[in-house]
Structure 1
Amino acid sequence: MSYLIETVLNSEEKGDLVEFANQLRESQKHYLLRNDILSAFSEFCQNHQKPDTFEHSSRLGKLIYYTQEIILEEESLCLIIRPKIAKQQVYRLCFPELEIEPLSIQQLLDVRDRYVNHFHPDEGDVFEIDFQPFYDYSPIIRDPKNIGKGVDFLNRFLSSKLFQDPSQWLEALYNFLNIHSYNGTTLLINGRIKSQKQLSDQIKQAIAFVGDMPPERPYEDFRFDLQAMGFEPGWGNTASRVKETLEILDELIDSPDDAALEGFLSRIPMIFRIVLVSIHGWFGQEGVLGRPDTGGQVVYVLDQARSLEKQLEEDNHLAGLDGLNVEPKVIILSRLIPNSDGTRCNERLEKVHGTKNGWILRVPLRDMNPNMTENWISRFEIWPYLETYAIDAEKELFAEFQGIPDLIIGNYSDGNLVAFLLARRLKVTQFNVAHALEKSKYLFSNLYWQEMESNYHFSLQFTADLIAMNAAHCIISSTYQEIVGKPDSVGQYESYESFTMPDLYHVVHGIELFSPKFNVVPPGVNESVYFPYTREEDRVPSQKEKLEELLFTLEDGQQVFGKLADPSKRPIFSMARLDRIKNMTGLAECFGRSPELQEHCNLILVAGKLFVDESGDAEEREEIEKLYRIIEQYNLYDKIRWLGVRLPKSASGEIYRVIADRRGVFVQPALFEAFGLTILEAMISGLPTFGTQFGGPLEIIQDRVNGFYINPTNLEETAQKVLDFVVKCEQNPDYWLDISNKGIDRVYTTYTWKIHTTRLLSLARIYGFWNFTSKEQREDLLRYIESLFYLIYKPRAKELLQQHTHR
């Protein structure tokens, strides 16, 4: 029995538990999530005149704090307790005897099904999905604090294997080094080294040879001498670099160490061709930001592509491959949209600005239904077209690369599914990046999936997520909490550990959170676009003046709504697309409810479109109408500027700096944010930043040090936090500068693309080595995944396709 429950039942607080349960029964809610539970308990404490300490410090208070869900049944209540991160316990408390019985995951899923009246015990069992057996024989992290540090764990695991069985692992290293080539040219070792024993001997001989040379002697000067010893290009570009690499390998063979293993593998030239998959949305370099289903994904993937190419070039140079004319290639795989609405999304191939060999490759969806496939399709509707898209994309990629890629990185649920289908067929390493999992964004989305299916098709999306995340060799997350949340909240991936989709399936074990496949690698910002407002020498005066006019004074009914009565007031700024989760309307209402804040500040929003008839997205249309209602309700016409513009990339960086020139602040009010690129953009520009406490911003911002947390569901508290900051800045202007400077430092020391891509490529090499050397058999796992694809995903995708034919 849970210690938390036992201590309550064995104390005088047992009666309080009964009274609290009775209060819950009298309410209208029978399924309570954590916020509901805390609110109800706070009300209970007030109604029963409990001491101030009771709510948080009593035995019952501690039990309530760790309770994530309560489900009220006829004569019992079901408690889902989360005593620590990545750990869940389930109990049924029966009345009036106050008997406690633990429930299995299967029993909990049955309780949830009964709650929504979709399951009756006499109707037979439900299809169960359980991935646990496939992780039973894989290395597993033990300590929750190490979740997200998978590669560190894997390095320790691999180096311990080297130490335990040196002959086997020396053979594995030898075979691994033997397979590397580029366009038919052998890399690393050649046929003169015929065994693992000879490899070890030759390494020592080569170290002695290059050790007698001047450190900076170019590799080309002694290339043929090394070849005679059995070493091909790839060890380094100078004598000192070659010596360092060989010494790391020598140390690794003689005394295995995790740091040496990572250091060696990070130098191996084995990644030359990368695919970044980003299917849904408008993907382009101009005219797409602000459209539905784009925004952050385009910025992230384009910046990542540029940085990856640059890092690959640097790595290849350091490896001594200049003489081979090695040219890395990065392809962003997206969809071609024939009716492109003035964008370049109807072009098959587009070079990525600022790259030598980075490309956007757009592959069309097959014309199963031209009314759909020739136009933009929402991320919620794209599922029927992805299998054939992957088949067509495989051919296109092969033509562009003149071979197969070395690494495929999926983005979002649909891109991750396509990455799986491609990696399965091509037998290459697959990485996943979720950015945001819809399951966490929409409450009860799995429980009430049938009611939401017509709009969101979660049955397809959640099945695709299960398939892709279990198939991936590595999952990249931006934050630790994205995986397993915080002590008081469940992580995005954690929400997939067990759940029910009534009448469809039960997920008993959907993902192994302690798997070393999880790695936290936060993105960076494009430092050529986003940089501090103080760098006047890098700013364009004409652009600055144009944006100042647009933000504060321009009268243009097609682009701007609202005329400021006093443009000199301190600006509160936010920029996001208009959807419910981004919550721009919530920020407007927060501002509207605070006359004090209106006295000190204006509100400036860059938010999608101004007119309902310009949008084809239902949620965006609702938010546009809602924003107009809020402006009217609070009479904000002369206190708000709403810009319905699509800014070019350079302007999106300068707009933050113009706000910083006026000592403004940036507010990110999302109801949930997986990471928060706009927060990084604002902070590096020098804007003091207020970010949502729900999601990734908790790991970017250090509260009251270089920014501030806000609870966007508490409008009065949010308004007061911003007001307190503004008033303090008016009293002490240096306070604004202090927060501004600390925000800039935070980004430069932690969130750059150089840091991101160096780590990402290191991961790719290490996981490539793990897959080659381990005896882990993935075929059984992949066959199980394929069964889910063909038995669940594909039939439902066909149903959706049929619906599309009638539109």
Structure 2
Amino acid sequence: MSELIHAVLNSEEKSDLRSFISELRSQEKGYLLRNDILNVYSEFCSKHQKEQPFSLLGKLIYYTQEIIQDSTNLCFIFRPKIASQEVYRLTEDLSVESISVDELLDLRDRLVNRFHPQEGDLLELDFGPFYDYTPTIRDPKNIGKGVQYLNRYLSSKLFQDPKEWLEGLFNFLRLHQYNGIQLLINNNIQTQQQLSEQVKKAIGFVSDRPSDEPYEEFRFQLQMMGFEPGWGNTASRVRESLEILDELIDSPDPQTLEAFISRIPMIFKIVLVSAHGWFGQEGVLGRPDTGGQVVYVLDQAKTLEQQLQEDAILAGLEKLNVEPKVIILSRLIPNSDGTLCNQRLEKVHGTENAWILRVPLREFNPNMTQNWISRFEFWPYLETFAIDSEKELLAEFQGKPDLIVGNYTDGNLVAFLLARRLKVTQCNIAHALEKSKYLFSNLYWNDLEDKYHFSLQFTADLIAMNAANFIISSTYQEIVGTPDSVGQYESYKCFTMPDLYHVVNGIELFSPKFNVVPPGVNENAYFPYTRHEDRVESDRLRIEEMLFTLDDSSQIFGKLDDPNKRPLFSMARLDRIKNMTGLAECFGKSPELQEHFNLILIAGKLRVEESGDNEERDEIIKLYNIIEQYNLQGKIRWLGVRLSKGQSGEVYRVIADHQGVFVQPALFEAFGLTILEAMISGLPTFATQFGGPLEIIQNKVNGFYINPTNLEETADKIIEFVLKCEQNPNYWNEVSQQAINRVYSTYTWKIHTTKLLSLARIYGFWNFNSKENREDLLRYIETLFYLIYKPRAQAILEEHKHR
């Protein structure tokens, strides 16, 4: 960027830059973000009749992510490419100098504490040195493809130093047992050289047998050669596995390595942590903090258990009575509002051995711990919850789990605490990182602390994401954003929490621990509206009545004047980020939308007194005000109902029966399961352009992007669609079918779980064979936990004890 800055300063545009800086100085804001900067520049160009895109200055502004005004100087934060940042100070006389990360963080602190500047140095957190000795990806476009890179790296090591790595592979194969029964190789093979020889001998042996001959019929002969169960269930499967190993030994490459490691039977017991509770199979989706995460984890648990069973059978372990087990770990809530969240153990429907295990919080104050606790208040209980959960898990599994998967910040922190104690592979899934959802949440954390406790949230994120062996994200941009926007994980790279600490390097974005593995859709509950043979007519009629005509003031607000209009439909919890009130306002401001559609919302509670969440209460009041302000009575139905997955699936399909559309108006959406649910049902979908939907939807092909902050533009896009439908009656069907095709090709749980288990095995192999010493990193992380996180959590606990 330095060259581009000097090119501007050495050109005729230097005077334009000076004028633009004057425009910036006239802004009341001391801190301008990219949108602010582009708006100021657009106004500047209009005012001075400048051509924006083609100038050097225009190019410079395009790469500018932030501008901070500091007395007489301006600080420009540039993002020349994804996952990189450069910072320069521009003085009044237009001299330029590069500034360090430390100086940038000090400047941000001064912006917040201009009247009470920080005295002395602040704690600096730098995770960079711990990644110096690990492989890192070079090209930003390969971020999120960590396992592909790791496979290339490992296979190159096998090729460069075959003796050392073959010894590692040999020792790794000797590790595996199930309930004390040896798998893969036994003591008849004593060296890696012997392994290579015996593999060729065994291949010759099984090649002479009928391909479908069951493993048990030649098991004894293989054991004499040194091979125990785990290679396959038939002669052809055993041969395939041994041939892949033989190829790996002779000429290693990334595909062969992944194909082989993915076959190794090494994962039988999995914990999925969804800590903050309100986790069940019926009646729990209406509570803020839960909805999408509960759906995700339940579906993941079902398909993981099924995949583990399939893998065990394919590996030839059926006669060993292998019983894979998946446990969803959550908290037990005694006052469970009529749900099963007060039951210790609940079997997951449709599975043989997947369970919800609920562990109660210690009763520091029963008024708190016997009730649901918001995710923003949950932090003081996580350490003791993890300690108590460890005992419960060891009892349920009759041993240690093989893999621990954390969900959301609190679940990821519990996963870290458990994995650290049990020495088990840890995987993180963020679902959403709150830091990027709330503007300037780290800068002004002190002002928000009583409500959100961001100091604990962001510290827990740093701990868990750096401790994890691997991280799953639903989209690429969740990690590093787009050319125009910073990713959620990227926002942890460098930031300050004034008066608490500076993060100089919070996460290595180029680490191979990041992998993009999108979730799927529960295809039993969500399927195309055209599959009439799979729909239950009585359910359809009941949902139809509920959506359009049922008079039930306890759960439904609003009676439609004309129920035959197309439905404009959305379903989400009522909070600021999900922005259901923004959609209602968009509808209220557009007479054309009201002419073509009825607005139907399934969202949270109907009454303030029924909600225990501050943000939901605010949104309830706001929604009623919008209905009143725009006189929407007769044009809107607001349903405060709890739906099972089967019912919500039929809701989408009934909306599709009426050729409606689905709108997801979130201000930011990490991924968007409701988008997949709507699309697979056959609904044309309009979704926020901020976040994951950019990767799900192909704009104007199988759905549409909207900017939920621009209400007029959003309304125009929906109106343009419906007018096209009126001109071409088949247009709705075309978009509907494209949406269905998109989900089936890319977003199924089968694809997800196959990839997740492959990752777990490969990272397990990497951790066993790599020479990187994680202990120093984990000690650093523990220091952060005990010196920053724990005392702050304890302070909240003391407050909770007196509520």
TM range (shorter): over 0.9
Q: State the shift of 1:281 in Å.
A: 3.8
Q: State the shift of 1:122 in Å.
A: 7.6
Partner of 2:218: 222
**1:193 and 2:197 correspond:** no
Partner of 2:643: 647
Partner of 1:595: 591
Q: 1:717 aligns with which of 707, 713, 716?
A: 713
Residue 624 of structure 1 aligns to a residue whose secondary structure is: helix
User: Do 2:277 and 2:333's aligned partners in 1 also have CA atoms closer than 8 Å?
Assistant: no
Q: 2:683 aligns with which of 671, 683, 687?
A: 687
Query: 1: CA distance between counterparts of 2:322 and 2:579?
Result: 47
User: Do 1:113 and 1:119's aligned partners in 2 also have CA atoms closer than 8 Å?
Assistant: no
Query: 1: CA distance between counterparts of 2:91 and 2:27?
Result: 19
Deviation readout 1:424-460 (Å, 9 max, x if unpaired): 0000000000000000000000000000000000000
Q: State the shift of 1:26 in Å.
A: 1.5
Identity of aligned pairs, percent?
77
Partner of 1:43: 43
Deviation readout 1:115-161 (Å, 9 max, x if unpaired): 01169778211100000000000000000000000000000000000
Provide runs of 4+ in structure 1 moved above 3 Å.
118-122
Q: 2:239 aligns with which of 226, 243, 267?
A: 243
**1:59 and 2:64 correspond:** no
**1:233 and 2:232 correspond:** no
Deviation readout 1:171-223 (Å, 9 max, x if unpaired): 11110000100001100001111111111100000000000111111111101
Residues 345-494 of structure 1 aligned to structure 2 (within 5 Å): 345-494=341-490
Query: 2: CA distance between counterparts of 1:57 and 1:488?
Result: 18
Name the aligned partner's letter for residue 427 of structure 1. K
Partner of 2:78: 81
**1:267 and 2:298 correspond:** no
Name the aligned partner's letter for residue 196 of structure 2. S
Query: 2: CA distance between counterparts of 1:609 and 1:39?
Result: 38
Query: 2: CA distance between counterparts of 1:174 and 1:292?
Result: 50
Query: 2: CA distance between counterparts of 1:631 and 1:46?
Result: 38
Query: 1: CA distance between counterparts of 2:610 and 2:741?
Result: 40
**1:569 and 2:565 correspond:** yes
User: Do 2:365 and 2:802's aligned partners in 1 also have CA atoms closer than 8 Å?
Assistant: no
Q: 2:179 aligns with which of 180, 183, 186?
A: 183
Deviation readout 1:366-411 (Å, 9 max, x if unpaired): 1112111111000000001100110000000000000000000000
Q: 1:156 aligns with which of 147, 152, 158?
A: 152
Deviation readout 1:31-63 (Å, 9 max, x if unpaired): 01111111111111222233xxx2222211111
Q: State the shift of 1:4 in Å.
A: 2.7
Query: 1: CA distance between counterparts of 2:307 and 2:486?
Result: 35
Q: 2:783 aligns with which of 759, 768, 787?
A: 787
Partner of 1:547: 543
Query: 2: CA distance between counterparts of 1:502 and 1:191?
Result: 59
User: Do 1:119 and 1:502's aligned partners in 2 also have CA atoms closer than 8 Å?
Assistant: no
Partner of 2:274: 278
Query: 2: CA distance between counterparts of 1:674 and 1:103?
Result: 32
Query: 2: CA distance between counterparts of 1:365 and 1:122?
Result: 38
Query: 1: CA distance between counterparts of 2:53 and 2:351?
Result: 56
Partner of 2:124: 128
Residues 6-21 of structure 1 aligned to structure 2 (within 5 Å): 6-21=6-21
Query: 2: CA distance between counterparts of 1:572 and 1:41?
Result: 36
Q: TM-score, normalised by structure 2?
A: 0.99
**1:609 and 2:613 correspond:** no
Name the aligned partner's letter for residue 55 of structure 2. S
Query: 2: CA distance between counterparts of 1:270 and 1:186?
Result: 11
Partner of 2:312: 316
User: Do 1:281 and 1:378's aligned partners in 2 also have CA atoms closer than 8 Å?
Assistant: no
Partner of 1:535: 531
**1:675 and 2:671 correspond:** yes
Name the aligned partner's letter for residue 627 of structure 2. I
Query: 1: CA distance between counterparts of 2:418 and 2:239?
Result: 38
Name the aligned partner's letter for residue 381 of structure 1. E
Query: 1: CA distance between counterparts of 2:54 and 2:667?
Result: 29
Q: State the shift of 1:422 in Å.
A: 0.2
Q: State the shift of 1:353 in Å.
A: 0.5
Name the aligned partner's letter for residue 383 of structure 1. W
User: Do 1:110 and 1:119's aligned partners in 2 also have CA atoms closer than 8 Å?
Assistant: no
Residue 730 of structure 2 aligns to a residue whose secondary structure is: helix
Distance of aligned partners of 1:453 and 1:737 in 2 relative to their CA distance in 1, 3 Å threshold: same
Name the aligned partner's letter for residue 75 of structure 1. T
**Aligned-residue CA RMSD in angstroms?**
0.9
Residue 642 of structure 2 aligns to a residue whose secondary structure is: coil
Q: 1:525 aligns with which of 521, 524, 528?
A: 521
Query: 1: CA distance between counterparts of 2:521 and 2:407?
Result: 18
Residue 423 of structure 1 aligns to a residue whose secondary structure is: helix
Deviation readout 1:693-715 (Å, 9 max, x if unpaired): 00000000000010000000000
Q: TM-score, normalised by structure 1?
A: 0.99
Query: 2: CA distance between counterparts of 1:66 and 1:229?
Result: 63
Residues 75-114 of structure 1 aligned to structure 2 (within 5 Å): 75-95=72-92, 97-114=93-110
Name the aligned partner's letter for residue 306 of structure 1. K
Q: State the shift of 1:565 in Å.
A: 0.8
Deviation readout 1:72-123 (Å, 9 max, x if unpaired): 111110000001000100000000x111010111110000000011697782
Query: 2: CA distance between counterparts of 1:121 and 1:389?
Result: 39
List runs of 5+ in structure 1 lacking aligned partners.
Answer: none
Query: 1: CA distance between counterparts of 2:253 and 2:116?
Result: 56
Query: 1: CA distance between counterparts of 2:53 and 2:691?
Result: 24
User: Do 1:281 and 1:293's aligned partners in 2 also have CA atoms closer than 8 Å?
Assistant: no
Q: State the shift of 1:65 in Å.
A: 1.2
Name the aligned partner's letter for residue 203 of structure 2. I
Query: 2: CA distance between counterparts of 1:605 and 1:795?
Result: 42
User: Do 1:281 and 1:379's aligned partners in 2 also have CA atoms closer than 8 Å?
Assistant: no
Deviation readout 1:321-347 (Å, 9 max, x if unpaired): 001010100000000011111111110
Partner of 2:33: 33
Corresponding residue pairs, total: 803
Name the aligned partner's letter for residue 450 of structure 1. N
Residue 555 of structure 1 aligns to a residue whose secondary structure is: coil
Residue 56 of structure 1 aligns to a residue whose secondary structure is: coil
Name the aligned partner's letter for residue 15 of structure 1. S
Partner of 2:3: 3
Distance of aligned partners of 1:782 and 1:205 in 2 relative to their CA distance in 1, 3 Å threshold: same
Query: 1: CA distance between counterparts of 2:277 and 2:498?
Result: 30
Partner of 2:169: 173
Query: 2: CA distance between counterparts of 1:283 and 1:679?
Result: 22
**1:137 and 2:133 correspond:** yes
Q: State the shift of 1:14 in Å.
A: 1.1
Distance of aligned partners of 1:157 and 1:666 in 2 relative to their CA distance in 1, 3 Å threshold: same
Q: State the shift of 1:241 in Å.
A: 0.4
Residue 519 of structure 2 aligns to a residue whose secondary structure is: coil
User: Do 1:135 and 1:512's aligned partners in 2 also have CA atoms closer than 8 Å?
Assistant: yes
Query: 2: CA distance between counterparts of 1:6 and 1:631?
Result: 54
Query: 2: CA distance between counterparts of 1:281 and 1:672?
Result: 24
**1:751 and 2:747 correspond:** yes
Residue 71 of structure 2 aligns to a residue whose secondary structure is: coil
Name the aligned partner's letter for residue 404 of structure 1. K
**1:628 and 2:624 correspond:** yes
Name the aligned partner's letter for residue 62 of structure 1. K
Query: 1: CA distance between counterparts of 2:267 and 2:116?
Result: 53
